[in-house]
Amino acid sequence: ADYVITGQWAKKAAAEAERYGKVNIVASSADSTFDHIPTLDPSKFDPEADYFYITLNNTIYGTRWTELPDTGNVPLVGDMSSSILSQEIDITKFGLLYAGAQKNLGPAGVTVVIVREDLLGNAMDFTPTMLRYDIHAENNSLYNTPPTYGIYFMGLVFDWVKRQGGVAALQKINERKAAILYDFLDQSELFRGTVVKKDRSLMNAPFVLPTKELDEKFIKEAKEHGFENLKGHRTVGGMRASMYNAMPIEGVEKLVEFMKKFEMENK
Ligand SMILES: Cc1ncc(COP(=O)(O)O)c(C=O)c1O
């Protein structure tokens, strides 16, 4: 299988796949702390690969694929855990998509898998039954007792998404939220976004201040003003603002207002 390493989740997925078969790393942005989506050289793709793997939105580093790779007849497999329902995508481009529920869908504990029917039934002999998508598909996802409360919650979220006008409407709101934050970062003399502009995520925006001391001061003061979870992932430091579907535009406006004030006081 071909893998593009764009962050920790892709790295972990590739390491897991190594246990079952041959993994070909097509490209990686590890050298620059995953601050961009690497440019692909199609001559490195394996035309015989069983699938080609990408992480659509890199939660920790704040990058996303804005253009899908053309993998020809090799099925594209995508981890959409942190961007599902945040923007419209062409589902026909994928052989398989999966997403943990806990960002845009509902409580942790449910994973959504969308798989092309002709790809079902290719599991290796030793694959545990619970990991066989053909078994789940044949049994209408009721082969075992599913996490009913989480699924009920997801149903409520899907109804909410429809009431907002569907994914297209949410995409507009998400683009607006991201623009408010990134526009501020681009003109700020104190704060700096860490991701190459063309690959910026709509969901997770990492940013830094000139020193670690200022980062800490900002996170502390932000918390005192009611802004939660702004600390960046422990492996990258700095700050990260996550703007999942449940975050209203006002939330981002309030954050930017606070950042402006912090800049004035700490320049
Ligand atoms: C893109 C992505 N993939 C995978 C995972 C792992 O999800 P889980 O903790 O449910 O295994 C995460 C968690 O944040 C994620 O953001």
Q: What is the CATH number of the domain that holds 132?
A: 3.40.640.10
Q: Is 1 within 8 Å of 10 (Cβ atoms)? A: no
Q: Is the per-residue pLDDT at 124 higher than 90?
A: yes
Q: What is the pLDDT of residue 186?
A: 98
Q: Compute the average pLDDT of residues 105-109.
A: 95
Tens-place pLDDT, residues 187-207: 999 999 999 999 999 999 999
28 with 146, same domain? Answer: yes
Q: Compute the average pLDDT of residues 34-44.
A: 98
228 with 257, same domain? Answer: yes
Q: What is the pLDDT of residue 267?
A: 87
186 with 136, same domain? Answer: no
Q: Is the per-residue pLDDT at 234 higher than 90?
A: no
Q: What is the pLDDT of residue 5?
A: 98
109 with 218, same domain? Answer: no
> Does 100 sit in the ligand 1 pocket, CB within 6 Å?
yes
> Does 55 sit in the ligand 1 pocket, CB within 6 Å?
yes
Q: For residue 215, give the CATH number of its domain.
A: 3.90.1150.10
Q: What is the pLDDT of residue 162?
A: 98
Ligand 1 pocket: which of 16, 34, 55, 82 to mutate (most atoms <8 Å of CB)? 82
Going 213 to 215 to 217 to 219, the CA torsion angle's sign is negative
Q: What is the pLDDT of residue 71?
A: 97
42 with 145, same domain? Answer: yes
159 with 35, same domain? Answer: yes
Closest by CA to 152, choosing from 99, 100, 110, 103, is: 110
The encoded tokens of residue 124 equal 């290796």
Q: What is the pLDDT of residue 235?
A: 84
48 with 138, same domain? Answer: yes
Domain-terminating residue out of 144, 163, 182: 163
139 with 12, same domain? Answer: yes
**Structural domain total, the chain:** 2
Q: Compute the average pLDDT of residues 230-248.
A: 95
16 with 123, same domain? Answer: yes
Cα of 187 from ligand 1 centre, angstroms: 32
Q: Is 12 within 8 Å of 60 (Cβ atoms)? A: no
- Say how far apart CA 155 and CA 62 lie, in whole Å: 28
35 with 154, same domain? Answer: yes
**b/e 188-199 (16+ beta carbons within 10 angstroms → b):** bebbebbbeeeb
- Say how far apart CA 57 and CA 204 lie, in whole Å: 9
Domain-terminating residue out of 163, 197, 225: 163
Q: Is 59 within 8 Å of 82 (Cβ atoms)? A: yes
The chain-wide mean pLDDT, for the chain, equals 97
Q: What is the pLDDT of residue 236?
A: 87
Going 121 to 114 to 116 to 38, the CA torsion angle's sign is negative
Tens-place pLDDT, residues 131-152: 999 999 999 999 999 999 999 9
Q: Compute the average pLDDT of residues 37-51.
A: 98
Q: What is the pLDDT of residue 68?
A: 96
84 with 177, same domain? Answer: no
Q: Compute the average pLDDT of residues 141-170.
A: 97
34 with 155, same domain? Answer: yes
Cα of 9 from ligand 1 centre, angstroms: 7
Q: What is the pTM of this model?
A: 0.96
Domain-terminating residue out of 112, 145, 163: 163
Closest by CA to 26, choosing from 57, 7, 63, 1, is: 1
Closest ligand 1 atom, residue 100 Cα: 10
Domain range enclosing 205:
166-266
